[in-house]
Structure 1
Amino acid sequence: MLRWLLVVAAVTGILIYAINRDIHYEKAYNGDLRNRVTGSRMIKDGRSPYFYKWKTGDGLRYYDPGNFDSVRPSNMTSTPVLYRLLSPLVEQPEARISEYWLVIEYLMLGAITLFAFLTAPTTARRQAVVLVFGAVLLTNGWKEHTANGQTYLCIPFFAMLFLVFWKKKDHPANAILAGCAAACLILIRVNTLLFFPPFWLLVQTHPRRWWLFFCIPMALFGGWALTSTHERGLWRDYFSNVNEAIRINQNLHPAIQHNDPDPRYPRWEGIDTLEADHYMKTLPAKIYSENGNFFVLFQGVFHRQLSVATMGWLSFGGIGLLALLFYFRCRPFEAQDTPWVAIFGFCLFMIADLFSPVYRHQYYTVQWILPLMLAATQLSPRKKAGYGLLLLCLLLWCFHLPFLKMQNTLAEYGILAVLLAMALDLRTFRTQNPPPVSLPK
């Protein structure tokens, strides 16, 4: 009981501090949220956002101060499906949407934490989940995510929803809901497809009928995308935008054009630019961000630029070797292996993410929230070294050390390495862990 009191008191204090801090960030203007709003509005209006540039006379509906530059593609770089998911919010003024989105971010984090808490079979593991929740609120990734109004938290959220319905294999409706969550996950970030192949190792744990119903949502979306001229055009423009983003980030002579200048409205959709500037100058906590891409590290060490093709071959070569090692080292797989299969799948996806030719800012790292919480549900005294290293990496994310360069990147690669090592040691976990409890029905 005393340990619970200490854990709850510490995390409650962190939560109160974090909410007040993040409200301040939100008032300083969520720049990245705006391009999600304008992109969603354009798709609702039957237009494509991916190469749109504001012109004099367009009004405020598509106005975004971050979309004024000299390149051809717009800064609306999310998938059509993400824009459609946001569409219920976007008819509100920007200031109101920003407030709503901060609440939604906390609700998504709370849902992921609750899922892990209910999955953890012992008191110590539940306490570990709560402590991970508290630590996440202090990380640079979470701070930058809320400060920019980013949407990367949707990745662990939809992966969590998939796992919720994956556990419930007694009714076709659960298979359909799992398929919907999986479809949303893939269609808001295409390389999350790598999260799912490890689950094929658990195919025998679910009846064939379950898998049939699971495939229905993606099949329906595929049919709609193929038969809808507008939807095909959106995806074509999206991938063209991605290619242009790669050219911009890799200095490969991106397309340049003349665009109208920013009219610099002092007030628009509830945003007072002077007030936002005041909040920006008085931030309650500094955010330390860096780009953790492999090509950034390679260039820093060897002073040479990796080609996009080389990044792709290194990424998928490493993913393939790890997948084979996981299969031959850990088979046969059983239902109770689901947490580690999910963690391993997440690591595969994050390897592709780290080898991306597009710069990864610190808000990308919130994607690690789910695998870290899943690891907490499997806490084991016999794995003190691994969990100690994970704790150290979390602390590196939370507290800035001026003498340590690329601190956030060191922490992220450390988490990847430790989680991979622990997943590849799955046989040891089988011999010492009780099977996890099921979620309440």
Structure 2
Amino acid sequence: MVYYLGLAEINYFVDLRNRIIGSRLMDLGMDPYYFKWSKAWPLTLCDPIDICNFRNNLTTSPPSLLWLIRPIARLDYMSIGYIWVLLHYVFFLLIVLPIHQAFRDEASKSRVLAAAIILLLTPQWSETILKGQCHFILPTAMSLMIFTAAGNGRYKYFICGLLLSIAVWLRPNAVLLAPFLLFCRLDKKQFFGAIALAAILLGTMEWYFHLNDWVSFYHTCREWVKNNVADITVIFCHGDIVTEGKSLEGSTRALDYISNQSEQGNIFHLVQSKWNYSVPPLPMLVVFICTFAVLVWFSFRYQFRNMHDALFIGYFAYWMAALTSPILRLTYYFPEVFPIILIFAGNYFQMNRTERYVFNTACILLVLDLIPVNLVVAESLFIGCMLLYTWNRRERHSSS
């Protein structure tokens, strides 16, 4: 953490910029998604890598997240960078500690902590901090849900329902996890009652205060799908010069902070970058729908014994949606897999030989940069290990 705080003054957090500008625009009562900066506006609203030939700007976070970060968006950009680094480590602890506490024996807890330290050294963790990403929301909710469900609290499933609702509010595609929780052993009245209550409260608030922003968010998502399918050559509007930041202003190119080890993480852009072929969207949509249907059938046929098995299958559906979507998906999404890796580390000696082999291979690939797309392959192997683990748990439970 000290290392990244030291970099905060000389790093631009290039992807955080559009979120902060979107939040500032919301504060001013302006459209966060279709605003285009000109010299008539202050530099605090300028994104140096905004794309001129796109109708929308680069803000992709939902209105709920933009509203939530309004207090820090009012600060100067360098102060925001320091806060964002600290937030990453706060949420990292909120991911790790619940999983750690969910295990009872010291050996499993030690393996969870060892895995957590290794995850802090991965290039994906470095990238998500230095680019100013926020892919810690869903894994935090997953970890807290797993920990809460494993406890003995009277209202534990009500709390889990609230956690999932907040995750969906801040990251709408997390709704893909919800259907699979119908097929696990939990107090459904508590769980879905909490979801209904949160939907009413949050839905009413958003309807009255941010309805236009949500409509605009829907349209900008459609724009991003269209732009990614068309593979439009981007034209940066403002000379790509950093416009806010005491050590960088006016002298540094924002694009210098995009160059990193990131890899394309979905089928559209991976195929486009490697073979220069544009994959049609419809077949990918069919692949996702068929996969989702098979997962729902599997979940209905084999009821899950606990929540984290259901969350694993739900996360696979979530991952498949990103894999088959035209929207750009880079390897800074990797922190969303952290809870799965930590659970594998804790249960390492309860996994069978094949599961451990796949898991170990994925861990090794994380550090083998000489292998093409090693980060994407490693993440895919972790997801494959998750499916094997869930399937084999079903077989072990059936035999017992």
Question: Does the TM-score normalized on the shorter chain lie above 0.5?
Answer: yes
In the aligned structure 1, how far is the partner of 2:179 from the partner of 2:332?
26
Structure 1 unmatched runs, 5+:
1-17, 434-441
Shift in Å, 1:191? 1.8
SS in 1 for 2:339: helix
Is the Cα–Cα contact under 8 Å of residues 169 and 210 in structure 1 kept in the other structure? no
Distance 1:25 1:241, change over 3 A: same
Q: How does 1:276-287 map to 2 (within 5 A)?
A: 287=260
Structure 2 unmatched runs, 5+:
none
Is the Cα–Cα contact under 8 Å of residues 153 and 366 in structure 1 kept in the other structure? yes
Q: Which residue of 2 aligns with 1:206?
A: 187
Of the candidates 373, 378, 382, which is equivalent to residue 411 of structure 1? 378
Of the candidates 320, 335, 346, which is equivalent to residue 377 of structure 1? 346
SS in 2 for 1:205: coil
Q: Which residue of 2 aligns with 1:20?
A: 3
Of the candidates 379, 382, 391, which is equivalent to residue 424 of structure 1? 391
Q: Tell me the percent identity.
A: 19
In the aligned structure 1, how far is the partner of 2:71 from the partner of 2:379?
34
Q: Which residue of 1 aligns with 2:296?
A: 323
In the aligned structure 2, how far is the partner of 1:111 from the partner of 1:210?
21
Distance 1:171 1:213, change over 3 A: farther
Shift in Å, 1:376? 2.6
Shift in Å, 1:308? 1.9
Of the candidates 98, 103, 112, which is equivalent to residue 115 of structure 1? 98
**Counterpart residue type for residue 342 of structure 1:** L
SS in 1 for 2:71: coil
Is the Cα–Cα contact under 8 Å of residues 342 and 371 in structure 1 kept in the other structure? no
SS in 2 for 1:215: helix
Q: Which residue of 1 aligns with 2:172?
A: 190
Q: Which residue of 2 aligns with 1:311?
A: 284
Q: Which residue of 1 aligns with 2:262?
A: 289
Q: Which residue of 2 aligns with 1:368?
A: 337
Name the Cα RMSD after superposition. 3.2
In the aligned structure 2, how far is the partner of 1:299 from the partner of 1:235?
31
In the aligned structure 2, how far is the partner of 1:289 from the partner of 1:209?
41
Q: What do residues 35-82 of structure 1 show as CA deviations (whole Å, max 9, x unaligned)?
A: 111111111222221111111121133122122533211001110011
Shift in Å, 1:177? 4.3
Q: Which residue of 2 aligns with 1:48?
A: 31
Distance 1:170 1:151, change over 3 A: same
Q: Which residue of 1 aligns with 2:113?
A: 130
Q: What do residues 79-115 of structure 1 show as CA deviations (whole Å, max 9, x unaligned)?
A: 0011122122111111001001101101111121111
SS in 1 for 2:352: helix
What is the aligned residue count? 399
Q: How does 1:150-165 map to 2 (within 5 A)?
A: 150-165=133-148
Q: Which residue of 2 aligns with 1:64?
A: 47
Q: Which residue of 2 aligns with 1:29?
A: 12
In the aligned structure 1, how far is the partner of 2:267 from the partner of 2:7?
33
Distance 1:130 1:70, change over 3 A: same
Q: Check if 1:73 corresponds to 2:65.
A: no
Is the Cα–Cα contact under 8 Å of residues 247 and 253 in structure 1 kept in the other structure? no
In the aligned structure 2, how far is the partner of 1:131 from the partner of 1:430?
29
Shift in Å, 1:244? 1.1
SS in 2 for 1:192: helix
Q: What do residues 288-331 of structure 1 show as CA deviations (whole Å, max 9, x unaligned)?
A: 21102122345578764222222111112112213323442x33
In the aligned structure 2, how far is the partner of 1:160 from the partner of 1:361?
23
Q: What do residues 172-225 of structure 1 show as CA deviations (whole Å, max 9, x unaligned)?
A: 5x55543442222112322211112221112x5316245423421112222333
In the aligned structure 1, how far is the partner of 2:14 from the partner of 2:196?
37
Shift in Å, 1:162? 3.5
**Counterpart residue type for residue 364 of structure 2:** L
Shift in Å, 1:269? 4.8
Distance 1:179 1:111, change over 3 A: same
Q: How does 1:210-229 map to 2 (within 5 A)?
A: 211-226=192-207, 228=208
Q: Which residue of 2 aligns with 1:11?
A: none
In the aligned structure 1, how far is the partner of 2:264 from the partner of 2:242?
31
**Counterpart residue type for residue 175 of structure 2:** L
Distance 1:263 1:406, change over 3 A: closer
In the aligned structure 2, how far is the partner of 1:21 from the partner of 1:398?
20
Using structure 1 for the length normalisation, give the TM-score.
0.81
